[in-house]
Amino acid sequence: MTETHCPYCNYDEYDVIAKNDFGVVLPEPNSLSEGHSVIVPLRHVASFFEITDNERKSLMTLLEQARNELKLRYQPAGFHVGFNDGNVFEEKAEHLHIHIIPRYEGKVLKLDARWGIED
């Protein structure tokens, strides 16, 4: 099921970094570092704990593919990987998305309100 106003259901195929039967890797529009991307299930589902085993395995495969592609494109020193689950922040995540954020030598990663962090 796709949701009309969901940016993760209504993505542009041109932006796809990788895709399989259950998920897609997309660039994060509000990136925290060069190459910041999200891994998203194709099915509109809010929680990691509501996805099927096939979806979970698929998203982990896409996470690894995203890592490999981002290493080739940007040569980061490492990655920050995470996601929020549940209505714990002001902005409720209605479609599960896993962030993969490249980390670069000598550059501080500044997390923002999406992670419950305020300046």
Please indicate, yes or no, if residue 42 is contained in any of the structural domains.
yes
The Cα–Cα gap between 34 and 103 comes to: 9
Torsion of CA 53, 96, 58, 2, to 10 degrees: 100
Q: Taking a C-beta distance cutoff of 8 angstroms, is the pair 28, 37 a contact?
A: yes
The Cα–Cα gap between 100 and 27 comes to: 10
Please indicate, yes or no, if residue 99 is contained in any of the structural domains.
yes
| pLDDT tens-digit readout, 53-90 | 999 999 999 999 999 999 999 999 999 999 888 776 55
What's the rounded mean pLDDT across residues 94-102? Answer: 93
Range of the structural domain that residue 67 is part of = 13-115
Please indicate, yes or no, if residue 6 is contained in any of the structural domains.
no
Please indicate, yes or no, if residue 65 is contained in any of the structural domains.
yes
pTM: 0.87
Please indicate, yes or no, if residue 5 is contained in any of the structural domains.
no
| Average pLDDT, rounded, for the chain | 88
> Would you place residue 26 in the very low, low, confident or very high pLDDT band (cuts 50, 70, 90)?
very high
> Would you place residue 42 in the very low, low, confident or very high pLDDT band (cuts 50, 70, 90)?
very high
Please indicate, yes or no, if residue 37 is contained in any of the structural domains.
yes
Total domains, the chain: 1
Please indicate, yes or no, if residue 3 is contained in any of the structural domains.
no
